[in-house]
Structure formats: structure tokens, C-alpha cells
Amino acid sequence: MLFRSETPPSPGNLHVAEPPYSDRPTTAMLKADIDSGATGDKVAAYDPGLSQLGTDDEAAGNPASHERIALARKTEAATARVRKAAQPQGLNNWIVPGFCTAIGGIAAVLTLSIWIF
């Protein structure tokens, strides 16, 4: 039997750094904000897309302006608290093992009580 690795295959295992501040941001910078976890929507990981952000707008002849992209970057930025909660290795690493232990304990108590009575 083969076991799958916990590490996602390339390019999903690539680290994405948060892009620096810019007066003229691009849609690639907005996508890097999302992939780096700066928006708090997902864990920091590269997310390959079929088409990059803004491609549909450009094809329609209406590309996003730098001001709109800057506004999107500003409004989508997550607070430090949200970023910390979105990280997989946080202070709450005990929740899942604790839940599994509690469920196992309840099952053991029920099994023993049915067996004894």
C-alpha cells in the first residue's frame, strides 16, 4: 500500500513572499497577497491558476487601474490577529488531539458501561 506525502506536489509547495508596498500595484501583487496569506483567506501556499487575476478584464478591454488594485490590496489586508489564526501551526495545536481523546474516552466509557451492565 502506498502512502501519500503530506507535502503537496510542486508548485503547491512553493513559498510565496508577501509583496512590498507600491504606489502602482499590479494584479500579480494582489494575487501574491492572497497566496502569501496576507488577506487571511487561506494558508500561505502558491495557488496556480488557469488565468491570472485581471486577465478577463484585460481581454474585455477594461483593465483594472492601479488605484483600484491599491484599494483592493488595502481592503483585503487582514489584521495580525486574523493572520495568526489562519496559520496551521498556532497556539491551538491541542484542539484536534483533545477532541479525539474526548470522543475516544466517551466511547470507552459507553462500551464499558454496556459490557458491565
User: Do residues 37 and 86 make contact, with C-beta atoms less than 8 angstroms apart?
Assistant: yes
20 Cβ neighbours under 8 A, 6+ residues apart: none
User: What is the tens place of the pLDDT at every residue in 48-105?
Assistant: 776 777 788 888 888 888 898 888 888 888 777 777 766 665 556 778 888 999 999 9
**3-class DSSP state for residue 49?**
coil
pLDDT at residue number 103: 97
Lowest mean pLDDT among 11-20, 28-37, 60-69, 81-90: 81-90
CA 54 to chain centre: 21
pTM, full prediction: 0.57
Cell 483592493 belongs to: 72
